[in-house]
Amino acid sequence: MLLDAADYAVIAPLSTSRLHALAFLADVLSPIYDLSTLSGRILKRRIGPYFPELQWQLDRLVGQGLVDVVQLQPVVEASRAYLDASFCLRRSATQSILNAVYQLPEFLALRDFFRELADALGAVPDDDLDATTQADVTWDTGHAGTIIDYGEWRARNYSRMSADRIEELANDTLGKAGVTLSPGAKVNLYVRYLRRAANG
């Protein structure tokens, strides 16, 4: 569904880092849409969010012929080197599956959320992506070590609190206190805020 959202937002193929950034923001912003988080924990790497289980599922979809791997490129970090890739759906193999999934109301709501988030994240260039994602307050606040545990912080979702505050500030600026933004507008404003915060 994340890769389908990338197609919809015309940002496919998705690089590994953009896919995991999209999954991370989907988790922390899901309460805006009254949805549950998709994952319980995330690996907090220096270069950005990483979900080992998501990557395992993606690799499995590649093996099943449902996802194509494109744009392989070497990445060298201080202590390791690896191949990075970008991914896109193989439409001929996945469209009937997605059509069946989207007939269920709960997945339809998730599809709309993913599409709006992918659209918002699509405005962030690749060279800004890591800094933009790491400007998120859930990423940055109160999480020592290498794991963010959503179960531990669910009662204090700093990302949602920030999105709510940005909504208030936007309404105050427009002189429309008390007006509720659509979830899509709220997510767009929050991603814009992240990019601005990342760039000082």
The pLDDT, as a whole number, for residue 118 is 94
Distance CA 119, CA 113 (A): 10
Q: Hey, how many other C-beta atoms are within 10 angstroms of the C-beta on 26?
A: 24
Cα separation, 136 vs 194, in Å, equals: 6
Q: What is the pLDDT of residue 134?
A: 79
Q: How confident is the model at residue 139 (pLDDT cuts 50, 70, 90)?
A: confident
Average pLDDT of the segment spanning 97-118: 93
Helix/strand/coil percentages in the chain, nearest 5? 60, 15, 25
pLDDT at 147: 65
The tokens describing 143, both together, are 């999480």
- Sheet strands (E) in 38-124: 41-45, 48-50, 67-76, 81-89
Kindly report, residue by residue over 48-59, the tens digit of the pLDDT: 788 888 889 999
DSSP tag of 197: H
What integer pLDDT is reported at residue 107 of this predicted model?
A: 93
Contact 115, 5 (CB under 8 A): yes
Give the single-character DSSP code of 143.
Answer: -
Given pLDDT bands bounded at 50, 70 and 90, which one contains residue 47?
Answer: low
Which pLDDT score is estimated for 90? 96
pTM attached to this predicted model: 0.83
Residue 93 has pLDDT above 80, yes or no: yes
- Rounded CA-CA distance 134/198 in Å is 8
Range of the domain at 185: 2-198
Q: Which residue(s) pair with 88 in the sheet?
A: 68
Q: What is the pLDDT of residue 103?
A: 94
Q: Is the pLDDT of residue 156 over 70?
A: no
Q: Could you report the per-residue pLDDT of 176-185, keeping only the tens digit for each?
A: 666 677 888 8
As for how many domains the chain has, the answer is 1
User: 132: closest CA among 151, 157, 168, 159?
Assistant: 159
Nearest Cα neighbor of 47 from 121, 117, 126, 120 is 126
Band (4; pLDDT cuts 50, 70, 90): very high
Q: What pLDDT was estimated at residue 172?
A: 75
Average pLDDT over residues 160-186: 77
- Mean pLDDT across the chain: 82
